[in-house]
Structure 1
């Protein structure tokens, strides 16, 4: 079987994400090429690297180049043929359509990993991306949606018989220490929708009544400087820290020692259809979770019994953190065990085996 995965994750430089785990799974199931996009000014530059059991083709481009339907197609070898082309998002999907229409792919699979129009503030770009997304999914042979809310949305206007749920997952259950430190943790993108502005304000009030905890924030993003300034203005720089990016291995070590994991994302359209991978990673490491009542986060916390759901607000965040910090050991251990057990449903190998079973069945039709 010959596969092509098209992703907008820089496979060589970014932290491990869904496409990295998909590559690890697929490379043992056939011949694999990966077309990965990196943003830069050397438009069209290709770097081909033989990674042993797969070929990575890194293509440099500007964001505007992705709206050119020929751009990615022209970066492949002429007359390339694949049994299966797997495309993450609408810009990758344009390549999938082209390969299928030209007889260069037997099966075109669309990985529906986000509601992409919601990334854009301007109505004009929002509508262009929404139209691209709809076209790419209408033409796809199979769609794998990452969340229940996204699958339900797509099923309202696309043939639901070709749409399957394929959530984000974990590599394994993380070893956790018996004695947790009073670390309140956020890991992920530092953006306006991350909810960190309310978290920092709530934590500044917590420090006036509680003295043992620390707030640790791992990641980066456009709001990093603003939130660092906020920490300094509120005079909590001795208790709250933005640590930046670290390796996934080091992050898992922090998880294992931490007590509370925050997934207090602002309930926007983007968040409503997302499946935050941090939620399952927190559970797999035995963290107590606080999450916003929005999208799949609400369902996951209700099903797992691993934490607290709250409405999005500063006072609600403050009360939830104080509740978990003051929780008795028996109840705390029960929540941790619930989360670990629930996370076992979301192992990457099982998720991708389900995907491959669908793909094999479709190829035999």
Structure 2
């Protein structure tokens, strides 16, 4: 049995979308006959929600996968400053690079999942020192998104250094995986990419995320990272404008950097009875909450550098048989159109309210959209199928040298 190591900044018991994706990928690969090791930090995200530990490493067996949690800097604050955030992002991949260097002859392939960008460090180090196959898994344009959201200044030394490092990784990797075709085009237009590039979508576990038999609640739902890329405040204000007629609740499942701001907005707008924050919940509870909701929302901000994004939450809504309302353009609009399961609204409370009302007034349409969405993700985005495709690449590249 050949061995593969996956390096990821997030892994359960963290509840982020990427944590669940890496878990599903690793477990499916293991079931397909590959010996999988995952390197991840001690549980840290959302920052400040887990107790700090100074333990160097902790090894566990999780559903057939060897998981090695390594020490990294663990911010105390839910919205850490730049220095603390960078320490978190950098100490883990450097620690992982040292760990892998001493285990460098054990693995036939290494998969590094970005963002953050720096998870490429151990892949780059191993590629320079061994013959290991390196699959560079890129989930978004981390640098561009950081600039758009105001975390990074365009043209700064930090941006130039980050782009140079990304080019170094792209020049060394044996395969580059991207979540969407648009993401692949944008990477190819900015960087020199010599390795083959393949589509490795976020996908969804359709065995876990599926329609439930219970009844519906009078609510819409957002399930995901409560972060800067989402116009959740616009959705909350849309719900406020509708509640004279529709008596609608807005359930926000998750946590993140902007939760405190949203809670203050909800308080100031007298929305405490309409907008409900659950915080981080056990992963197994999420499908039921989605299935019991009427509509899912994926309100990406209207930014040029987010047009490549197809949020995992949209796949989860579709797998649970409910329609979604998205904001933004690019891949999320293509997903809504191709699947027939979504509606795209402008990033204003008025437009979001109008889109919600158009669905709520037509239950038959909502039911049909939910059915189409379930069929679409089961055919195109089931994580078992994505893992099988990845296994075939690993076999061809790492085992036969093709």
Q: If the length of structure 1 is used for normalisation, what is the TM-score?
A: 0.91
Secondary structure of the 1:61 match is coil
Q: Which residue of 2 aligns with 1:185?
A: 221
1:153 — aligned with what? 186
Tell me the distance in 2 between the aligned counterparts of 1:141 and 1:309. 37
Distance in 2 separating the partners of 1:318 and 1:65: 39
Tell me the residue number matched to 2:80: none
String of CA shifts for 1:159-207, please: whole Å, max 9, x gaps.
4760001101111150234753321111111123211111111211111
Q: Which residue of 2 aligns with 1:122?
A: 152
Structure 1 residues 204-249: Cα deviation after superposition (integer angstroms, max 9, x where no partner): 11113333x2111111112212212222222222222112111121
What secondary structure, in the 3-state scheme, does the structure 1 residue paired with 2:64 have? coil
Supply the distance in 2 between the matched residues of 1:160 and 1:71 (Cα, whole angstroms).
28
**Is 2:111 the counterpart of 1:86?**
yes
The unaligned stretches of length 5 or more in structure 2 are 45-50, 74-85
In 1, Cα distance between equivalents of 2:263 and 2:89: 34
1:78–1:160 CA distance, 2 compared to 1 (3 A): closer
C-alpha distance in 2 between matches for 1:321 and 1:292: 12
Of 18-27 and 233-242, more deviation after overlay is shown by 233-242
Give the TM-score, by structure 2 length: 0.83
- Distance of aligned partners of 1:201 and 1:342 in 2 relative to their CA distance in 1, 3 Å threshold: same
Aligned length: 362
2:39 alignment counterpart:
35
Map 1:197-346 onto structure 2 (within 5 A): 197-211=233-247, 213-269=248-304, 271-327=306-362, 329-344=363-378, 345-346=380-381
Q: Give the superposition deviation at 1:358.
A: 2.0
- SS of the equivalent of 1:27 reads helix
Q: CA deviation at 1:315?
A: 1.3
User: Aligned residue for 2:129?
Assistant: 102
Mean CA deviation greater in 38-47 or 244-253: 38-47
Structure 1 residues 44, 139: closer, same or farther in 2, change over 3 A? farther
Bigger Cα displacement from structure 2, 179-188 vs 124-133? 124-133
Q: Secondary structure at the match of 1:321?
A: helix
State the partner residue of 1:46.
57
Q: Is the partner of 2:229 in helix, strand or coil? A: helix
Q: Deviations over 1:260-313 (max 9, x none)?
A: 100111123553232311001101111121111323101100101112112222
Segments of structure 1 that go 5 or more residues without pairing to the other structure are none
Superposition deviation, residue 33 in structure 1: 1.9
> Which residue pairs with 2:29 in the alignment?
26
Shift of 1:65: 7.0
> 1:135: how far off?
1.7
Name 2:69's counterpart in structure 1.
58
Distance 1:210 1:79 in 2: 59
Is the CA contact 1:301–1:308 (under 8 Å) kept in the aligned structure 2?
yes
- Residue 123 of structure 2 aligns to a residue whose secondary structure is helix
Out of 340-349 and 40-49, give the one that drifted further: 40-49
CA root-mean-square deviation: 2.4
CA offset digits 1:107-159 (Å, max 9, x no partner) = 11101112121236222333332322222122100011012221111232334
Closer/same/farther in 2, CA of residues 312 and 166 from structure 1, 3 Å limit: same
Secondary structure of the corresponding residue to residue 309 of structure 1: strand
Checking the alignment, whether the CA contact within 8 Å between 2:218 and 2:294 is kept in structure 1 is: yes
SS in 1 for 2:104: coil
**d(CA) in 1 for partners of 2:15, 2:237:** 30
- Once residues 327 and 305 of structure 2 are traced to their aligned partners in structure 1, the CA distance between those partners, rounded to angstroms, is 13
* Contact kept? 1:44, 1:75, Cα under 8 Å: no
CA 1:23–1:309 in structure 2 vs 1: closer, same or farther (change >3 Å)? Answer: same
